[in-house]
Amino acid sequence: MAHGSSFGSLLQSQIISRVVATVDALPRQGMGSTNILPLRTPSGTMLTQQVNGATVITANNGGRYAPYMTVLNDVDPHALVAWYKHNYPLFQEAYRELGYPHGYFNDRLIVAIDDMLAAPDVRDPVAVVRSGPHYHFVDPQLQSLSNGQKLMVRMGPGNEEQFKAKLRMIRALLAGAQVAH
């Protein structure tokens, strides 16, 4: 039995380390390593179409995020925050190992959530240009957004609304919860 529990601890530690690295990267510009995401990126390439000579993200592109949105909708914010609080020492340790010996992960998490909540609500088709394997926003203001805000724009308005609603609930629970430093 000890083997199974140590495997579970190792797996949880790896997941927490990846979550910490992702949360740290979300409010930044440029991801650096693409291996930091705790989950795989959506399958397939971004869905685009030509409109008046420009390449724009299609409304159907949001469908690529459907598996993630299903998980998001199924997540109980109360249970998630309770799990986070219980495991906070592991999150803090992973944050220190990432290179922040004096900071608090909970503070960074709040910054990341607030940054994503501040993402612009873009309703018009978003023009993109392909650069190698990646797409970049044509609008310099959108291209200058943080990683988390760009994600919100790419996932589409409907998904963004749902994601922001869940983030607001989690943010409120975190603000009401005393996370020990």
Q: Which residue has the higher pLDDT, 110 or 177?
A: 110
- Domain ranges across the chain: 2-176
Contact assessment for residue 154 and residue 64, using Cβ atoms and an 8 Å cutoff: no
Q: Is a pLDDT exceeding 50 seen at residue 22?
A: yes
Contact assessment for residue 117 and residue 48, using Cβ atoms and an 8 Å cutoff: no
Cα distance between residue 8 and residue 28, in whole Å: 31
Place of tokens 């930044």: 28
CA distances to 39, 66, 132, 161 from 69, rounded to whole Å, are 13, 5, 28, 11
Cα distance between residue 48 and residue 16, in whole Å: 34
pLDDT digits (tens, 9 = 90+) for 58-94: 999 999 999 989 999 999 999 999 999 999 999 999 9
What pTM, to 2 d.p., does this model score? 0.85
